[in-house]
Amino acid sequence: MDSLQRKLREVLSGKRFLLVVDDVWNPWEELKELLTTGAEGSCVIVTTRSTTVVSSIIGTLDAYELKPLSDDECWSLFERNAFSEGGAEKSADLIHIGKAIVEKCGGLPLAAKILGRLMRTKREVREWRSVMESEIWKLNDDKILPSLRLSYNHLPCHVKQCFAYCAIFPKDNEIDKEMVIQLWMANGFIPSDLEEDMELKGQEIFYELLSRSFFQDMIIHKQTFKMHDLIHDLARSDYRE
């Protein structure tokens, strides 16, 4: 840590910079002290979901609280994912139920997107109504959103296992796709089928998780991806279980 601090001082010393520190959870007094070596006019933007962190940060500006999406914005995001090409066929019944589901998202874009990806795989009114009336919405969990848990529960068992295994990687880590598939194979998570290459089956599992937004930020030329922090929390909760 000492060598990293020295390096940071060297890089920033006397320079004017804009630094974005994303998703801070812990008090950052040590880091703040290091940042005073920059030139006048330097700026630091800190993002966090923790009110404790906000109260512990002394800055020159008040915190700016991002508001949830409006009902129309949330519906638009859900609609684009649920009724896109190859998805559910738009009907008056599904629109009515879909808007009731969207109301449960609390204006959170991640929830709307993931639920939209889930519902695009459902074709029947009864399937949509089952999601809308699920008991999971009544769960009170400080870390895992009911919408994420609900989408996770609709994954096939072997896909759940592969997803939960990704909790071994640190948050915000850039993960190599081929390495993950090899680890799934080595741990026996991919169903064995003599008529299907196991690595191809691993590719199918990966792209199913990517299409449902459990994996994101796919970089094609590097074949790497990331997991949203809330998704990582979901994987960790199941991995511990």
Query: What is the full per-residue pLDDT of the chain (241 aa) written as tens digits?
Result: 788 888 988 888 889 999 888 777 666 666 777 788 888 888 888 887 777 767 666 566 778 888 899 999 999 999 999 998 888 999 999 999 999 999 998 899 999 999 999 999 999 999 999 999 999 998 876 667 899 999 999 999 999 999 999 999 998 889 999 999 999 999 999 987 655 688 999 999 999 999 999 999 999 999 999 999 889 999 998 765 5
Specify if 62 maps to a domain. Answer: no
Give the phi and the psi of residue 134 in degrees, each rounded to 5. Answer: -60, 145
pTM for this structure?
Answer: 0.77
Q: Which of 137, 153, 169 is the last residue of a domain?
A: 153
Same domain, 101 and 36: no
Quick one: pLDDT at residue 111? 92
Give the phi and the psi of residue 39 in degrees, each rounded to 5. Answer: -75, 165
| CA-based nearest residue to 60, from 82, 42, 84, 77 | 42
Domain span at residue 86?
71-153
Quick one: pLDDT at residue 118? 94
Quick one: pLDDT at residue 150? 92
Same domain, 184 and 226: yes
**Amino acid code (one letter) for 110:** L
Same domain, 85 and 149: yes
Q: Which of 115, 130, 153 is the last residue of a domain?
A: 153
Same domain, 231 and 186: yes
Quick one: pLDDT at residue 37? 82
- Which region, left, alpha or beta, applies to residue 14 given φ > 0 means left and ψ of -120 to 50 means alpha? left
Token readout for 110 is: 């991640």
Same domain, 88 and 35: no
Give the phi and the psi of residue 10 in degrees, each rounded to 5. Answer: -65, -40
Specify if 51 maps to a domain. Answer: yes
Quick one: pLDDT at residue 28? 67
Strands 175-176 and 43-46: unpaired
Domains in the chain: how many in total? 3
Strands 43-46 and 18-21: parallel
Give the phi and the psi of residue 20 in degrees, each rounded to 5. Answer: -110, 115
Quick one: pLDDT at residue 235? 93
Quick one: pLDDT at residue 44? 85
Token readout for 54 is: 């906000």
Quick one: pLDDT at residue 48? 79
